[in-house]
Structure 1
Amino acid sequence: MKTYAPFISGKFQHWQGDTIPSVDPATGEVWSQVARCGADEADTAIQDANRAFRTGPWADAGIEGRARILDTLADVLEARWEELVEPEIRDNGKRITEVRGQLSGLHSWFRYFAAEARKLKPEAQANSIPGVTSVGHWLPYGVVVAITPWNSPLMILAWKIAPALAAGNTVVVKPSEMASASSLEFARLAHEAGLPPGVLNVVTGLGHEVGEALVRHPLTRKVTFTGSDIGGRKVAEAASAGVVPTTLELGGKSPQVVFADSDLENTVNGILSGIFLSNGQTCVAGSRVIAEASIKDALVSRLVERAQALRMGDPMDPATQIAPLANEPHLRKVKSMIAQAKADGATCLLDGTETANGRQGFYVGPTIFEDVTRDMQLWREEVFGPVLAVTTFDTEDEAIALANDSDYGLAGGVWTSDANKGARVAGEIQSGTVYINHYRNVDPSSPIGGIKLSGYGRELGPGAVKDFLQAKSIWTGTAPVPDPFP
């Protein structure tokens, strides 16, 4: 059994302290151990990252030098990404087809943001003051702390560290204690690709023991976090003590508004993709279907037919369509919310707890409820699992009101053959991203983030590098300074 030590200063450290078991979700058995780091390791990693930021090859590289290093990293990832597949699956149970899809494109995030970094240059400012010019410059923050979740560890890690490094910062990563192995293996690969020691450090452990110590460290200059809204509140509170800016990408309860004029099969494919890929363990999961009353029965019937035919199995098997949930505490949460929805009076059309009965591991199959009302827990709270809530509407205004009846605002979907209606409704949905007639796409060029309890700030997009930079204005006098006291 492998024990993973923290990765600091370009190497795995010697570790004899406490460890946290990593459980294979497909079997329920421990497959590795990760170091249970604390404040001492947090300090070591931050100090090392700060040194790498201040002096040495990374500090001296300049924009073009750093971009070349990221391009080289992208080359190595393109050639060796398959080394990262198994540890990620063993940690979080995601099916191999999805993991291979994510990791085979991992290099693209680094290439994109290396190119974005090359566009950075001083910007002349059009000030109106006679006798002076001013120029805007962009400066990296320094040490960035990135806290990542267990659902897509390496993809979300890339979203954070690619622009942060392109901007010239150094990064300390605290992955979820439930899924740390692939992030540690990535750090090893990045160092082998030529990333200088200290530029990327990874410390593992519990949030209140090492995560908080990283966020509160006096040398931390920016924090980026993906996780639950509860975790986001804790991170924001800890960061505020040092007046440290944060980017928070939190939960969602995303609506899928389905009009009667939509293409039924296309809509069904999109809804299945939005809620049952990754077993619903994605922040943008389209977990609330708001269907026009006249089409609801046909839509629900087709959804149930398709969902109950999906094959549950070993995540390492390419034929598997439904893999396990990522960990046992999450399995208990999802089962509890399914039970609560039944108790609240929602009609369960497909029960994933029954289809998973007798299977070893942390399995719950696709679950579909109708007759879900706005006061139910299933309508209001994020399940983060393969559970779909269905309700109906009669008018466009009612559909928009239902879509926006949520404390979250991360994503949403609109399904209609009327382009004007689609654009109109998408414009009214209160979320950071809305998809029309498709769902769940992501690209380096498009920002991701939410409103309300879904967080603040944006990841990805052409402005992502600047999110890890600070603006600085330099003023130059071009004429003599007049006597202020003539």
Structure 2
Amino acid sequence: MKTYTPFISGAFLPWQGETIPSIDPASGTEWSRVARCGASEADAAIRDADLAFRKGPWASATPSERADMLDALADTLEIHWEELVEPEIRDNGKRITEVRGQFAGLHSWYRYFAAEARKLTPETQDNAIPNVTSVGHWLPYGVVVAITPWNSPLMILAWKLAPALAAGNTVVVKPSEMTSASTLEFTRLAHQSGLPPGVLNVVTGLGHEVGEALVRHPLTRKVTFTGSDFGGRKVAEAASVGVVPTTLELGGKSPQVVFADCDLENTVNGVLSGIFLSNGQTCVAGSRLIVEAPVKDALVTRLLERARGLRLGDPMDPATQVAPLANEPHLRKVTSMIAQAKADGADCLLDGTQTAQGMRGYYVGPTIFDQVRPDMQLWREEVFGPVLAIIPFDTEEEAIALANDSDYGLAAGVWTSDAAKGARVADGILSGTVYINHYRSVDPGSPIGGIKLSGYGRELGPDAIKDFLQVKSVWTGTAPVPDPFP
């Protein structure tokens, strides 16, 4: 059984301390162990990253040279990405078809931000002062702490690491203690690609033991976090002590607004994709179905037909359509919320806890509730599982009000054949991203992020690299300064 240890200064450290078991969600059995690091390892990783930022090949590299290193990393990923598939599946149980799809394109995130690095040049600033010019110079922060979740560790790491490195920072990663293996295997490849020691360090362990130590460290200059709104509050609180800027991509309770004039089959595919891909374990999961009354019965009937036919199974089997939840505590949370929805009076049309009975591992199948009220826990709180809540509406204004009746604002979907209506409703929904007649798209060139409890700041997009940069204005006089006291 492999024990994964922290990666600091270009090497995996020997480890004799406590470890954390990594459990295969498909079987419920331990398959590897992860070092339970603490404040001393956090300190070592931050100090090593700070040294690499100030001295050595990374510190002296031009933006173009950093871009070359990112391209070299992308080259390595194009060749070796398949080595990362099994560790991620064994850690979090995601289907092999989804993981292979993500990892086959993992290199593209690094290539995109390598190109962005080459665009970094001083920018002339407009000012109305005679005989004075002003130029903005982009400066990296220094050491960036990146805290990643367990649902898509390497893809979300790419969203943070690629722009942070392109900007010239060094990075210390704290992956979820439940899914650290693929991050450390990736780090091995990154080092093999020629990334200088100290530029990427990884420290494993529990949030309150090592994550907090990383965020509060006096040499930490920037924090980027993806996770729950509870975790985001803790990170923001810890970072505020040192006045350290944070980017928080947090939870969601995303609405799917369906109008009677929609293309029904396209909508069914989109709703299924939004809530049941990754078994609902995505921040943008379309968990609230807001459907116009005349089309509700037809839509729900078709959704039930399709959802009942989805095959639960081993995530390593390409034929599997629904894989397990990622860990046992999350299984308990999801099943508890399903039970609470029943107790609250919601009508369970399809019960995934029954579908999964008798299966080893942490399985819950697709679950669909009708007769949901806006005051129910199921409507208001993030399940982060394959659970869909349905409420009908009669008017466009009512649909927008239901969509916005949430503490979250990460994503939303709108389904209609009326382009003007789609644009109008999208404009009215309070969300960082709105999809019209499709769902779940993501691309390096398009920002992603939330409002309200879904966080603040944006990842990806043309300005993502600037989230990891500070601007310094340099003013130059072009004529003699007059005597101020003539």
Q: TM-score, normalised by structure 2?
A: 1.00
Displacement of 1:93: 0.2
Partner residue of 2:409?
A: 409
Where in structure 2 are the equivalents of 1:74-153 lying within 5 Å? 74-153=74-153
What per-residue deviation string (whole Å, max 9, x for no partner) do you get for residues 183-230 of structure 1?
A: 001111000000000000000000000000000000000000000000
2:2 counterpart of 1:37: no
2:252 counterpart of 1:281: no
Q: Classify the secondary structure of the residue corresponding to 1:482.
A: coil
2:363 counterpart of 1:366: no
1 CA distance for matches of 2:173 and 2:308?
39
Partner residue of 1:263?
A: 263
Partner residue of 1:167?
A: 167
Partner residue of 2:72?
A: 72
2:215 counterpart of 1:215: yes
Where in structure 2 are the equivalents of 1:23-62 lying within 5 Å? 23-62=23-62
Displacement of 1:153: 0.2
Where in structure 2 are the equivalents of 1:194-343 lying within 5 Å? 194-343=194-343
What per-residue deviation string (whole Å, max 9, x for no partner) do you get for residues 122-150 of structure 1?
A: 11111111121110000000000000000
Partner residue of 1:437?
A: 437
Amino acid at match of 1:297: D
2 CA distance for matches of 1:473 and 1:410?
34
1 CA distance for matches of 2:72 and 2:5?
26
2 CA distance for matches of 1:7 and 1:104?
24
What per-residue deviation string (whole Å, max 9, x for no partner) do you get for residues 231-263 of structure 1?
A: 000000000000000000000000000000000
Displacement of 1:273: 0.3
Q: Classify the secondary structure of the residue corresponding to 2:61.
A: helix
What per-residue deviation string (whole Å, max 9, x for no partner) do you get for residues 11-32 of structure 1?
A: 1001100000000000000000
Partner residue of 1:381?
A: 381
2 CA distance for matches of 1:131 and 1:289?
60
Q: Classify the secondary structure of the residue corresponding to 1:124.
A: strand
Q: Classify the secondary structure of the residue corresponding to 1:479.
A: coil
Partner residue of 2:20?
A: 20
1 CA distance for matches of 2:448 and 2:291?
26
Q: Classify the secondary structure of the residue corresponding to 2:305.
A: helix
Displacement of 1:333: 0.1
Q: Structure 2, unaligned stretches of length 5 or more?
A: none
Structure 1 runs of 4+ with >3 Å offset: none
1 CA distance for matches of 2:424 and 2:10?
51
2 CA distance for matches of 1:348 and 1:297?
15
2 CA distance for matches of 1:441 and 1:199?
31
2 CA distance for matches of 1:426 and 1:132?
45
Displacement of 1:362: 0.2
What per-residue deviation string (whole Å, max 9, x for no partner) do you get for residues 93-145 of structure 1?
A: 00000000011110000000000111111111111111211100000000000
2 CA distance for matches of 1:479 and 1:240?
43
2 CA distance for matches of 1:176 and 1:426?
34
2 CA distance for matches of 1:125 and 1:339?
59
2 CA distance for matches of 1:417 and 1:374?
27
Q: Structure 1, unaligned stretches of length 5 or more?
A: none
1 CA distance for matches of 2:62 and 2:274?
41
Q: Classify the secondary structure of the residue corresponding to 1:361.
A: coil
Q: Classify the secondary structure of the residue corresponding to 1:222.
A: strand
2 CA distance for matches of 1:395 and 1:43?
57
What per-residue deviation string (whole Å, max 9, x for no partner) do you get for residues 139-182 of structure 1?
A: 00000000000000000000000000000000000000010000
Displacement of 1:330: 0.0
2:11 counterpart of 1:11: yes
2 CA distance for matches of 1:470 and 1:329?
40
Displacement of 1:409: 0.0
Measured on the aligned residues, the alpha-carbon RMSD in Å equals 0.4
2 CA distance for matches of 1:152 and 1:126?
42
Partner residue of 2:484?
A: 484
Amino acid at match of 1:246: T
1 CA distance for matches of 2:335 and 2:365?
11
Q: Percent identity?
A: 83
Displacement of 1:291: 0.2
Displacement of 1:309: 0.2
Amino acid at match of 1:204: T
